[in-house]
Amino acid sequence: MKKYFACLAIAVLAFQSCSDFEDINVDPNNPAIVPVEMLLPPVISGGANTMVGSGRRAGQYVQHLAYPGGSSEADGRFNLTGASWREEWNGAVRLIKDVNQMRLLAEQNNQPEYLALAHINKVYILSLVTDVFGDIPYDEAGMGNVDGLEFPRFQAQEEVYQRMLEDLEHANKLLAELPAGVSVSRDILYNGDLQKWRKFANTLKIRILMRQSAKKDVAQHVTEIFNNPNRYPVFANVDDGATLVYNNSSDFYAWFIRNPSSDGSGVDFSDNARVSDVMVGLLENGADPRLFIYAAPTRNSFLANASDASKELEYRGQIAGLSSAEQQELYERTGLKEGDFSVVSRRIRRDNRAFLMTYSELLLLKAEAIQRDMGVTGHVEEVYQEAVNASFDKWKQVGSQPQIQNPYISDSQREAYWARAVNQYQPEKGLTMIAEQYFIDSFLNGFEGWASWRRTGIPEIKTGPSVLASIPVRYVYSDNEQNNPSLIEWVNEHMEGNMPNHNVKVWFQP
């Protein structure tokens, strides 16, 4: 009997030891289930980075930027395939997997505040995707890890927009019904201010509604939001805008940041991403102070001014879509050289912000709605001027740094701008002026500038004389995605079996 109890004691101790051993070997820094708040920062930053990445590609198609002939030939002259946009598709899908997990945890833990943010971030990310690709999976997006959903069902762009509006409506309702004092953790966009998230949701809803306005009547829904601020609060000032402030220099506009020249310019004059002649022309026509925010003076004028202050700085845009021979012919015909064109400015290169959606954008959409008699209250001239001022206000003085060190828009520059008759709102060409301001304000948000141009056709942009195709109007599905049986089925049923190329319009385009 003593032997029996001894054996039993040894067994119990052995079991306890194994249990203790398992507890000890659980890594507290690598939990099996990630707390929902831990998913928020990578989702927000991933969405912002998706937008930022559009500056060099979609921003080139809409001619925010242009490349000199012979540089980035495939993009600049539209020699494009599904491989051109592989990461634009795959990166977004990876983000939606995290959003789906965030939504699941919020539902399981009864955290409606995080559920609302999951809806808003899903809509923001996939709105970028559908704007450029057209028909996409929405309801089943990012669910490839779920049995039976390895190949998510595609949905028409019109349906996707409707589902987005429903999710934003749900998010607005969830946030409106939260008890006072509820906040969220690890919010790198609004620092836990859920009222600002609510404004973002409703402002994003305006963007999506107006995106469709050339194809369907959205006036009632747009008016319902603008005319009911208590039920649908939207951005009320520049600080409400969805602006991600990066907290370290390695996360700035990475594709602009390069080692600056030793000449004190603060820019890289050898950068192939030149500011386009379309952008520079619009800004110069109105003596617009944003010219000095967006563009650097030409290298040759900068060096001349450095040695002789009486010589003026010059700003010159690059014509888009030239071949190497056409670029060389331009140099010979005009007497210009490589150093006679503007690259992106030092203010942009030193900035630490990504503008997901701006107050200026909202006001321009409101001005458009008023101009188009959609039923939105307000005076279009006042809203238009407020919109341009809001765009100026994004570029205030940084600390006490002078213009030469870090350009900003001063009060005197603003006053001089509005003193010019050409800048006053003119109703007879109001929609053109609004669309041009939208183009200017969206600089380096290539997705938004390109989407606006595809909807309105403004400003007028032209291809180079010998480009391989017309200006792209959509991204082509990733070459990997083109093997997806769900996409193949969708194309066969809805596109007569023809996989769309970059010249096939997406649904929202007139």
pLDDT in tens, 41-62: 999 999 999 999 899 889 999 9
pLDDT band of residue 264 (cuts 50, 70, 90) is: confident
Is residue 160 within 8 A of residue 136, CB to CB? The reply is: yes
Is residue 434 within 8 A of residue 367, CB to CB? The reply is: yes
Quick one: average pLDDT of 402-409?
92
Q: For residue range 454-486, what is the model confidence (pLDDT) as tens digits?
A: 999 999 999 888 887 889 999 999 888 999 999
How far apart CA 403 and CA 463 sit, in angstroms, is 35
**Tokens coding 117:** 């943010």
pLDDT of residue 72: 61
Quick one: average pLDDT of 88-94?
90
How far apart CA 330 and CA 461 sit, in angstroms, is 18
- CB-based contacts of 480, cutoff 8 Å, min separation 6: 82, 86, 90
The answer on pLDDT for 254 being more than 60 is no
pLDDT of residue 2: 44
Residue with more model confidence, 10 or 159: 159
- Angstrom distances, CA of residue 229 to CA of 29, 170, 222, 388: 44, 17, 12, 22
Q: Tell the residue number behind the tokens 């249990």, with chain if given.
A: 19
What residue segments make up the domains of the chain, in order of their start?
36-252+350-494
Q: Tell the residue number behind the tokens 């409400």, with chain if given.
A: 240
**Tokens coding 106:** 């919020």
Region label for 78, one of left (φ > 0), alpha (ψ between -120 and 50) or beta (otherwise)? left
How far apart CA 118 and CA 242 sit, in angstroms, is 15
- Partnered with residue 242 across adjacent β-strands are 357
What single letter denotes the amino acid at residue 155? Q
pLDDT of residue 70: 73
pLDDT of residue 270: 86
Helix (H), strand (E) at residue 66: strand 65-66
Region label for 197, one of left (φ > 0), alpha (ψ between -120 and 50) or beta (otherwise)? alpha
Helix (H), strand (E) at residue 430: helix 430-441
How far apart CA 395 and CA 256 sit, in angstroms, is 18
Q: Tell the residue number behind the tokens 């973002």, with chain if given.
A: 200
pLDDT of residue 27: 54
How far apart CA 368 and CA 430 sit, in angstroms, is 8
- Cα angle 189-194-199, degrees, rounded to a multiple of 5: 85
pLDDT band of residue 260 (cuts 50, 70, 90) is: low
Total Cβ atoms within 10 A of residue 411: 8
The answer on pLDDT for 317 being more than 80 is yes
Residue 59 exposed, middle or buried by CB count within 10 Å (0-12, 13-18, 19+): buried
The answer on pLDDT for 5 being more than 60 is no
Question: How does the average pLDDT of the chain come out, rounded?
Answer: 90
Q: For residue range 281-313, what is the model confidence (pLDDT) as tens digits?
A: 999 999 999 999 999 999 999 999 999 999 999
How far apart CA 135 and CA 157 sit, in angstroms, is 5
Is residue 131 within 8 A of residue 211, CB to CB? The reply is: yes
| Through-space distance between the first and last CA atoms of the chain, rounded to whole angstroms | 91
Query: Of the ranges 277-286, 326-335, 349-358, which one carries the lowest mean pLDDT score?
Result: 349-358
| DSSP assignment of 157-207 | HHHHHHHHHHHHHHHHHHHHTSPTT---SS-TTTTT-HHHHHHHHHHHHHH
pLDDT of residue 259: 58
How far apart CA 127 and CA 161 sit, in angstroms, is 8
For residue 472, whether the previous peptide bond is cis, meaning omega lies within 30 degrees of 0, is no
Helix (H), strand (E) at residue 39: helix 36-52
Q: What pTM was estimated for this model as a whole?
A: 0.92
With H, G, I as helix, E, B as strand and everything else as coil, classify residue 60.
helix
Helix (H), strand (E) at residue 367: helix 359-371
With H, G, I as helix, E, B as strand and everything else as coil, classify residue 6.
helix
- Return the percentage of the chain with pLDDT > 90, whole number: 76
Is residue 154 within 8 A of residue 106, CB to CB? The reply is: no
Q: State the architecture of 36-252+350-494 in CATH terms.
A: Alpha Horseshoe (1.25)
pLDDT of residue 258: 52
Quick one: average pLDDT of 13-29?
48
pLDDT of residue 265: 87
Q: Tell the residue number behind the tokens 């595609």, with chain if given.
A: 154
How far apart CA 268 and CA 266 sit, in angstroms, is 7
The answer on pLDDT for 71 being more than 70 is no
- Partnered with residue 155 across adjacent β-strands are 136
Total Cβ atoms within 10 A of residue 191: 11
pLDDT of residue 94: 92
Q: Tell the residue number behind the tokens 């321009």, with chain if given.
A: 364
Q: Tell the residue number behind the tokens 């707390």, with chain if given.
A: 35
Q: For residue range 159-200, what is the model confidence (pLDDT) as tens digits?
A: 999 999 999 999 999 999 999 999 999 999 999 999 999 999
Q: Which residues of 449-475 are buried (b: 16+ CB within 10 A; e: fewer)?
A: bbbbbbbbebbebebbeebeeebbbbb
Q: Tell the residue number behind the tokens 């386009």, with chain if given.
A: 276
pLDDT of residue 10: 45
CA atoms within 13 A on the CB side of 11: 6
Ramachandran angles phi, psi of 297, nearest 5°: -65, 155
Is residue 276 within 8 A of residue 63, CB to CB? The reply is: yes
Is residue 274 within 8 A of residue 379, CB to CB? The reply is: no
